[in-house]
Structure 1
């Protein structure tokens, strides 16, 4: 089908569904089956960037990056990670230690590997994790998604972008602050590239015939879990699990406040953290990205308890 004409480089799923004469839910299903990428358009998203490799690896990789074509909206510190995924290598900490370029990366040594991370700003199209949750409903509220580079353009050692604020608040105060950190995602927020549309057309819109997307840049929970487990500091070992647990805890509390007050409070009104953990465990299929709680009930209760401690505690 070399004669396929597509009048855009990327578009929203709704536009693509109209172009392909299918339903948006069909494309959501393809993304959930890893046949295509479901993407979100980021504009200055403050992110914690997980990087696989040591500082020397990061330095060599950084030298290969080029300045993106969208110069009108990006700073001189912005680099093209893939064709449509961009990072501004600047922590913008103008009151503290402002770092730019390769200096934004921090190296963390573990027993058998070295993992780096950085705080930066993301632009352009990034792949969305947890898209399978949008198969059941049109929107998902108060989620903490993981983003990874759009595969258009090649390989990248960046394994995932997380919302920066909870990590920064934990580093400064030893307390997770989820205020203004959650995302609301809907079908209308998702995009697709012409590359994937062409793959769909070349396979006559037959989902089973489409090869799975190259997973080299896709966030792999097992990889991230290994990095966290091997890290020397608790913040590296548990930060991802903590955010998932706290997100699930508050999601349950807000969705069913009557049941929460009945099951998760002591008679004097104080939170019963053990009961709270048991309740979200019962709903793990719906509340957690992998449909399973990442840690034990006891550990979940500990995470929630610490997150709700006053900052002076």
Structure 2
């Protein structure tokens, strides 16, 4: 009887071991992404903040990315994120990747633990996305869980476009916000901005100040003024009236905007812009305005 008992014990141990092997045996899953607190460039593997869409696998390469700056993970609203993408490369190679979407599927975007976005999408369709194949995400900045901005440079995207350190794809991703008030105005001032770059690898610049008025009745951004310094020359870009959550072009200036945040009484406007300056330079960038 004792010999039979030992045999049953050995069989039980073998069955338990086989069960653990089938389940993976270890903690091979990934932990939730967290915000990086260091601005020192680092290299990391992709880590999606939401389930990956099998239809968009081509926009999620397993490449090496380097980061500069940091931002928190952006909170989705009803499973969506507001996205602005401004590829600052010659227009004939942009392949319609210049997009503005007030509510795109959060599952179609990929944000890394550093806060950088390495996949951007305008919808859940397989062809409506663009990924960073490899390279740098710089100018990473954010405001809480409301919005994050950044720029791809020294990189190649999944369309095959390459970016020098003087170029870039500028983006802003935020929590979609619906405005509730139907009258009145709010004063908007700049709180975040990335590097101003040139489509043909010209000199970089800075966005010094940006301001506008948000008209709650017309749902427009009025009297936008942006002061840019490029190669020690100052330029002022203006737009009299641009619809929110849309694209507007006046003269040589194109404006893309989405309303983001968590407080409808103090919304933010994530703004993408591209323009041709008087010296024929084509520039672009993103800026976030806080409206109160």
Instruction: Give the helix-richer structure, 1 or 2.
Output: 1
Higher relative contact order (CA 8 A, sep 6+): 1
Larger strand proportion of the pair: 2
TM-score normalised by the chain length of structure 2: 0.28
TM (norm. structure 1) is: 0.27
